[in-house]
Structure 1
Amino acid sequence: MEAFTYLFVYSILSTFLRTSITLDTITPTQSIRDGDILASAGRRFQMGFFSPDNSKSRYVGIWYTVSSGTVVWVANRDTPLNDHSGLLKVTDGVVILLNSTNSTVWSSNTSRTAENPVLQLLDNGNLNFLWQSFNYPCDTLLPEMKLGRNFVTGLGRFLTSWKSTDDPTQGEFSLRLDLRGLPQVVVEKGDTIKARLGSWNGVGLTGFTGLTRNPLYVYEFMFDENEVYYKYKLKNSLFFTRFVVNPSGIAQRFTWLDRTNRWELFSTMPADQCANYAFCGAYASCNIGNTPVCACLEGFLPKSPKAWDSVDWSDGCVRKTPLNCSDGPDGDGFLKYTGLKLPDTSSSWFDKTMSLKECEELCLKNCSCTAYGNLDIRKGGNGCLLWFGNLLDIRVFADGGEDLYVRLAASELDHVGKKRRSSKKKQVGIMIDSALFVPGMIILGLVSYIWKRKLRKQAMTKRNRGKECDNVGGKEDIELPIFDLTAIANATDNFSRENKLGEDGFGSVFKGTLREGKEIAVERQSKNSGQGLNEFKNEVILIAKLQHCNLVKLLGFCIEENEKMLIYEYMSNKSLDSFIFEQTKSKLLDWHKHINIITRVARGLLYLHQDSRLRIIHRDLKASNILLDNDMNPKISDFGLAKSFGGDQGDTKTNRIIGTYGYMSPEYAVHGQYSIKSDVFSFGVLILEILSGKKNRGFCHPEHCHNLLGHAWRLWIEDRPIELIDDSVGDFALPEMLRCIHVGLLCVQQRPEDRPNMSSVVLILSSESLLPKPRQPGFYTDSPEADSSCSTPFSANEMSYTLFEAR
């Protein structure tokens, strides 16, 4: 009976102790056995015993509660246990791990003592005692964890990769602060640098030109006599993010998405050839957008021309002319480069107080100084950074980057100066030639004259209208096929309701099948539409001259009897609005298709604004005017409202305001002023609609009275941009999503001059370039006249409208 009582009491005590260690602390009277869990107070992290995939070895580690397979720290990474008999406990101020023979496998080696030490797992993932796990990171850098060195204690904090995904033993790769010269973050394999994330410039690391306003975290860099470190902090504790060096030496940032219940890759380093350390060798720059990617700096030539020709750039470049290192007109000078990832700073010197001019003078006085630049880019730049020896690991960024002043001999500076001036003259000459090439208004005037003359002929020969169509579209003018009205009527089953694809403000669109089996789309202008002969003529002239894979192809036209029709290639998936605004069909567009549509529409607009014969403003870009082919590739359609003008003509004003509310820019809707930035505004609206699955016009959120633009802006400034994304999007890449929202908000800014042009948009969408902060959108309520409250939508549909201002 006594034995039974003893066993019963022991069982109750054991249960009590075992339950207590599921909290966030253990005391010297407690321990953790294999199978027990220590959880942080907020249940964000857990600690216990685990085995990696495909391994029977046992380790003590810390992992995310939401993702038990994501281990962020391992105690005994180099000394695994062979069975499940491990025991972790606190004794004499030391945390120790014992095996089945009661031998110590691992310990914290704490030199400090305390009367009642408590081991606690914090909500940031730090195991805190008289010692803390954040001082001894493994392969993962968590928020608030330092990467650097304490000069007082000599403690160095750096990451080391796992040996493999199944083995947490220290691998070949590490991520650390290289403390030679100006400290910089590098990825090393042994003692060899494999990639360089760069040095601190006051805002971030020079190797990245990512979002300037990151909604998830902020960076911090400390460098004084006591310590140097780099770390980041979460802005919103609801997010999980981690930075990992994987067994292959790739540095990756992941962010956890509750909606998808998985980790999403945010960034990768190295991400391309140019991110590999010194890929182009000394005194050369790497530009991933060029072919070849490597090029010698001005004043330098390949050290090994044969190797350079065989695409081996590792030897780099050498000076054409040796430095003079003397004062006077024959001395050395500096050539300015912009938009660069600054060179390796391991052989550099810096000063926080010097001006850029003082920096230049100091560099000239030292023959070993090869370049200089600002230490800190904030407030226009300040401080001095000098380079000595070879300039290594320079890359050119498509956007962002920093200035670098490279030392050259005076003769080379003169030669490079003449070369650059010559290049500028050529550019000016090209601009002048373009300006002298038959201005757009003259072209339109001549076309108008020819058109009117043909209309007079049409009135005189009503009995032969088919031939008159031939005259209107003769090869000497437009070179477009002319379709017979009878053939079009037969192809569309006499414009039957079953063949109707949709309608806009000017007419209806019908599907047709020609006698030879070719499918077509016929845009038939309504008899009482606002679009007259001028708009029809404009559309024919413009589309006939446009050739781009992201513009709908015009096959021909017909003017016969009272009909005016355009015949296009048939787009089997109809228009974009039928997908993104329809709950069932929207699920057919995964994240890849969303990005593809956004990017391709941007390229189509860039062609219209910059690369086509005439500068063209669409003026009615919207979801219903984006058609989708069999592969869901988008094509911009409906050029009835488009305007063209050549040269560098800027804003134009009209008293006839034409377009669709919800997509019209403020300066156009209110004052009739339009430019290419009007299309940029419409494109920004389109991006936000594609991502959210909601229409801008008529949108009103229960929490506020803003339209979609205002809603997106509010989420952005409250660091909640992910909430904008429609559930139908499915799994998405977080950095791409954030960049798309950022670009959308940049495009819909109130002032046209604040909006990027489409060439910048295309580059931004395909890179990790630095982005400016967006300003408040224009028309962020539903009314174009006032931004004060939600208003009744102008129309139940999204047809185009024409308004006339008072003169």
Structure 2
Amino acid sequence: MIDNITVVVFCLLLLISYMRTSTSLDSLSVNQYIKDGETLVSANGTFEMGFFSPGNSKGRYLGMWYKNLTPFTVLWVANRETPVNNNSGGVLKLNQNGVLVILNGANNTVWSSNISNKGGVTVVNNSTTAQLLDTGNLVLKIGPENILWQSFDYPCDILLPGMKLGWNLLTGSWNGRAFTGYPIQPLKQQQKFEFVMTDKEVYHRYEIIDKSLICVYRLTLSGNLEALVWTNHTNSMDGNIAKCECLKGYVPKNPDQWNISYWSSGCFPKMKSICGNNNTSGFLKYKEMKLPDTSSSWYNKTMNLVECQKLCLKNCSCTAYANTDIRNGGSGCLLWFDDVFDMRLYEQWGQDLYIRVPSEPDHVSVDIPGSKDNWMMHNKAVLIIVGFFTFTCIIIFIRRLASRVYGLLLFPKWQVYSRLRKEDMDLPVFDFSILVKASNNFSSVNKLGEGGFGPVYKGTLVDGKEVAIKRHSKVSDQGLEEFKNEIALIAKLQHRNLVNLLGCCIHKEEMLLLYEYMPNKSLDYFIFDETRSKLLVWTHRSNIIAGIARGLLYLHQDSRLKIIHRDMKTSNILLDAHMNPKISDFGLARTFRGDQVEAKTKKMVGTYGYMPPEYAVHGRYSMKSDVFSFGVIVLEIISGNKIKRFYDPEHSLNLLGHAWRLWIENMPMELLDTDLLDMCISSEVIRCIHVGLLCVQQKPGDRPDMSSVILMLNGEKLLPQPKAPGFYTGNGSTETISPSSNQMSATNFVGR
């Protein structure tokens, strides 16, 4: 009987212990705890805290994460240097001294909050609580206000909304709205930033304006700060290729290096001195600039911009100035001395920067605020010339943009579309309410994916026809121009390997395009997924390669317009129910005249990794640009590896370099996706690899055109030996690999 009573009491104690450490708790009182396998959950259910093991680690760590969010992302770790043994398990406890501790299986402390009082507040054992707040902050407090310790003061690699980042007086150029060196445009529109500098503390923090958006910042192992965003409206943030130019009045220090896009030597003034007895230096105003490095700068919060300029003119070492705060018309003075570094053009998110330059006879675009300055009074002739040229530039600017102003400002978007429709094509126009109903109010359940223009949703029209609806995103860098371009080009194209445009819709600020629905989504959805890639057998992949080639040949040669796509990549290759490829997304495409071979642009668009060298570095594009992108796609399809993710650390090579090395070492089949080894014809695989390498050669003139590519793929044309590809090393340079003496001959692998 006693034994039975003992058992019952023991079971009751276990039940009480379980109830006390239930996952529904958001706080712990003194002597309460949670064991490994149990969790704390914030009151709003957003955050959860418990023990976990990262990857293949055998240690257990106390961490905090978003409760119902995938992928699983740990936001904060307590015992990051002292894990608990996986076999013994761990316990998080608020001990009798009011200190949070983690105990291992031997009841030894491996981590603690290490605070018993703060700010003169004495900890009373039973009045101390530990709580996981709705912000993700684990706090140790007495009562509702007196916080003794908080996890926000000890961040790991993640910066959460509300966290303070500070105690460093060299935190960068804060202009009252944001750090000018932090150009994440789509996210800035959804966030509120704060920079506080007082006698007691200096810190930066951010808050989320759109509560449907989840965004944190993580410090990577390489020292980069990256944003992690969970949202239904995430914008694609593909990297851009940098281009350097010298400022007016400055020339490259090393022109030879500059001409081959090696810019590290920088620029220097045309005139050796910008100071002296005859001080005729002035300032050029550069708009939308990321401010230079502030390690050699000086600031004053009370001075205005005119006073700032005068002060800079008095010092021969002063090279530039700007406002410290751009709010409310601007205030404060920030001066730079000697050389300036790390200036960049950040459209929409930069600010005005005044660079000091010597005045020359042909250098008249000097912009100095404060018309009463002595310098300006003695240079009336310069001002007259400036006024004349300014007036001329305004007239030219207005005339060039007349059609755009007429379309965008004087008329609604539907009238712009109406003129476009009458002029270029007959395209069905859908009512916005129909598309709202078809997509279930653009439900996240219906979302198929997202590109540079915006998200794409599956829709079902009233007649039961399934469509794909591309909706413009407000945070997209693309807009009406790309919308019109897509309509004007793709509506005129008819080919089985091009996606079919069914109609469009413009409603107030909404711009939408309707396409035929592709049940198998895009190519990258399959080949870069470990499970789905197994469904793409060699016959499918070979058919996809041939279909893309036929589609490009039609664009380049067989359609009534010669079209350069400029954004060929796996995500823009859609797959129908039979896995047939269809090229999509013509928003960045351009047309060529019949005799035109090449064009040049200052605004590079597209996706890094698929860009050829001549476009990424010099802005030149042609049909051979699409050929290069096609070659990258071919090598991705064969290997199952993504160009932007693959890296061979042993040889410091990316995917192109890896394929090239295997080719010149007579091992081309090692490039093939291992899932295909038992179900492919090796001669076909090698022929495709050969064609892919010919397409990604460094020089455009060495690459075949698409008509030759199709003949090569069909085995109807001999293949020349490929030369080294462009951008094939790990760091993006084009260093040459010395081919082995046992070089392959094209005739060894061409199927007959």
Asked if structure 1 preserves the Cα contact closer than 8 Å seen for 2:319 and 2:340, the reply is: yes
Partner residue, 2:37? 35
CA distance in 1, matches of 2:36, 2:206: 33
**Given residue 342 of structure 2, which amino acid in structure 1 is its aligned partner?**
D
Partner residue, 1:87? 91
Please list, as runs of the form range in 1=range in 2, the aligned pairs for 1:92-491 lying within 5 A after superposition: 92-110=97-115, 112=117, 114-116=123-125, 117-129=128-140, 130-149=148-167, 179-180=169-170, 183-184=171-172, 199-208=173-182, 216-235=190-209, 239-257=213-231, 271-274=239-242, 293-326=243-276, 330-411=279-360, 414=363
CA distance in 1, matches of 2:330, 2:154: 36
Cα distance, 1:15 vs. partner? 2.3
Cα distance, 1:51 vs. partner? 1.0
SS at match of 2:136: coil
Partner residue, 1:19? 19
Partner residue, 1:561? none
Uncovered stretches (5+) of structure 1, i.e. residues with no partner: 150-177, 185-198, 275-292, 436-534, 544-550, 553-567, 609-620, 638-662, 664-681, 692-762, 768-807
**Given residue 133 of structure 2, which amino acid in structure 1 is its aligned partner?**
L
CA distance in 2, matches of 1:103, 1:575: 71
SS at match of 1:294: coil
SS at match of 1:306: helix
CA distance in 2, matches of 1:65, 1:322: 62
Cα distance, 1:400 vs. partner? 4.5
SS at match of 1:17: helix
Cα distance, 1:332 vs. partner? 2.7
SS at match of 2:163: coil
Q: Please give the per-residue CA displacement for 1:58-109, whole angstroms capped at 9, x wherever unaligned.
A: 1110111113722100011122223142222223233222223333322222
Q: Please give the per-residue CA displacement for 1:200-251, whole angstroms capped at 9, x wherever unaligned.
A: 2112222356669967442221111111111112346565332223345443
More strand by share: 1
Q: CA 1:67/1:632 → structure 2, altered by over 3 Å: closer, same or farther?
A: same
CA distance in 2, matches of 1:265, 1:105: 40
CA distance in 1, matches of 2:452, 2:274: 57
CA distance in 2, matches of 1:383, 1:433: 37
Q: CA 1:388/1:606 → structure 2, altered by over 3 Å: closer, same or farther?
A: farther
**Given residue 249 of structure 2, which amino acid in structure 1 is its aligned partner?**
G
- Equivalent of residue 687 in structure 1, options 484, 489, 511: 511
CA distance in 2, matches of 1:366, 1:583: 66
Q: CA 1:3/1:66 → structure 2, altered by over 3 Å: closer, same or farther?
A: same
Cα distance, 1:375 vs. partner? 0.9
Q: CA 1:371/1:434 → structure 2, altered by over 3 Å: closer, same or farther?
A: closer
Cα distance, 1:607 vs. partner? 7.5
SS at match of 2:334: strand
Partner residue, 1:583? 438
Please list, as runs of the form range in 1=range in 2, the aligned pairs for 1:541-620 lying within 5 A after superposition: 543=423, 551-552=424-425, 580=435, 583=438, 591-592=450-451, 595=454, 602-603=480-481
Asked if structure 1 preserves the Cα contact closer than 8 Å seen for 2:322 and 2:353, the reply is: yes
Asked if structure 1 preserves the Cα contact closer than 8 Å seen for 2:103 and 2:110, the reply is: yes
- Equivalent of residue 78 in structure 1, options 64, 77, 81: 81
**Given residue 75 of structure 2, which amino acid in structure 1 is its aligned partner?**
V
**Given residue 200 of structure 2, which amino acid in structure 1 is its aligned partner?**
N
Q: CA 1:12/1:412 → structure 2, altered by over 3 Å: closer, same or farther?
A: farther
Q: Please give the per-residue CA displacement for 1:526-583, whole angstroms capped at 9, x wherever unaligned.
A: xxxxxxxxx9xx999x95xxxxxxx54xxxxxxxxxxxxxxx8xx9xx7667994783
CA distance in 2, matches of 1:73, 1:430: 56
Cα distance, 1:426 vs. partner? 8.1
SS at match of 1:5: helix
CA distance in 1, matches of 2:359, 2:325: 28
Q: CA 1:213/1:306 → structure 2, altered by over 3 Å: closer, same or farther?
A: closer
Q: CA 1:575/1:633 → structure 2, altered by over 3 Å: closer, same or farther?
A: farther
Asked if structure 1 preserves the Cα contact closer than 8 Å seen for 2:284 and 2:356, the reply is: yes
CA distance in 2, matches of 1:359, 1:404: 12
SS at match of 1:225: coil
Q: Please give the per-residue CA displacement for 1:401-450, whole angstroms capped at 9, x wherever unaligned.
A: 21111112234884665898998698689789999xxxxxxxxxxxxxxx
SS at match of 1:11: helix
CA distance in 1, matches of 2:9, 2:78: 34
**Given residue 19 of structure 2, which amino acid in structure 1 is its aligned partner?**
T
**Given residue 372 of structure 1, which amino acid in structure 2 is its aligned partner?**
Y
CA distance in 2, matches of 1:55, 1:221: 38
Q: CA 1:632/1:600 → structure 2, altered by over 3 Å: closer, same or farther?
A: farther
Partner residue, 1:649? none
Asked if structure 2 preserves the Cα contact closer than 8 Å seen for 1:601 and 1:634, the reply is: no
CA distance in 2, matches of 1:590, 1:238: 18
Q: Please give the per-residue CA displacement for 1:273-321, whole angstroms capped at 9, x wherever unaligned.
A: 44xxxxxxxxxxxxxxxxxx11011111112222212211122112222
CA distance in 1, matches of 2:605, 2:502: 18
Q: CA 1:539/1:202 → structure 2, altered by over 3 Å: closer, same or farther?
A: closer
* Structure having greater relative contact order (Cα 8 Å, sep ≥ 6): 1
**Given residue 378 of structure 1, which amino acid in structure 2 is its aligned partner?**
R
With the length of structure 1 as denominator, give the TM-score of the two structures.
Answer: 0.48
Per mean C-alpha deviation after superposition, the further-off stretch among 585-594 and 79-88 is: 585-594
Q: CA 1:354/1:628 → structure 2, altered by over 3 Å: closer, same or farther?
A: farther
Partner residue, 2:708? none
Cα distance, 1:145 vs. partner? 0.8
**Given residue 315 of structure 1, which amino acid in structure 2 is its aligned partner?**
S
Partner residue, 1:64? 66
- Equivalent of residue 48 in structure 2, options 23, 46, 49: 46
Cα distance, 1:323 vs. partner? 3.0
CA distance in 1, matches of 2:270, 2:175: 31
Asked if structure 1 preserves the Cα contact closer than 8 Å seen for 2:164 and 2:203, the reply is: yes
The structure with the largest alpha-carbon Rg is 1
Asked if structure 2 preserves the Cα contact closer than 8 Å seen for 1:627 and 1:636, the reply is: no
CA distance in 1, matches of 2:502, 2:389: 36
Cα distance, 1:388 vs. partner? 2.0
Cα distance, 1:765 vs. partner? 11
Asked if structure 2 preserves the Cα contact closer than 8 Å seen for 1:218 and 1:232, the reply is: yes
CA distance in 2, matches of 1:575, 1:252: 41
CA distance in 2, matches of 1:685, 1:433: 26
**Given residue 30 of structure 2, which amino acid in structure 1 is its aligned partner?**
P
**Given residue 216 of structure 2, which amino acid in structure 1 is its aligned partner?**
R
Q: CA 1:356/1:122 → structure 2, altered by over 3 Å: closer, same or farther?
A: same
Asked if structure 2 preserves the Cα contact closer than 8 Å seen for 1:345 and 1:387, the reply is: yes
**Given residue 352 of structure 2, which amino acid in structure 1 is its aligned partner?**
D
SS at match of 1:58: strand
Cα distance, 1:17 vs. partner? 2.5
CA distance in 2, matches of 1:120, 1:431: 60
Q: CA 1:367/1:601 → structure 2, altered by over 3 Å: closer, same or farther?
A: closer
Q: CA 1:96/1:600 → structure 2, altered by over 3 Å: closer, same or farther?
A: closer
Q: CA 1:600/1:133 → structure 2, altered by over 3 Å: closer, same or farther?
A: closer
**Given residue 179 of structure 1, which amino acid in structure 2 is its aligned partner?**
L
With the length of structure 2 as denominator, give the TM-score of the two structures.
Answer: 0.51
SS at match of 1:67: coil
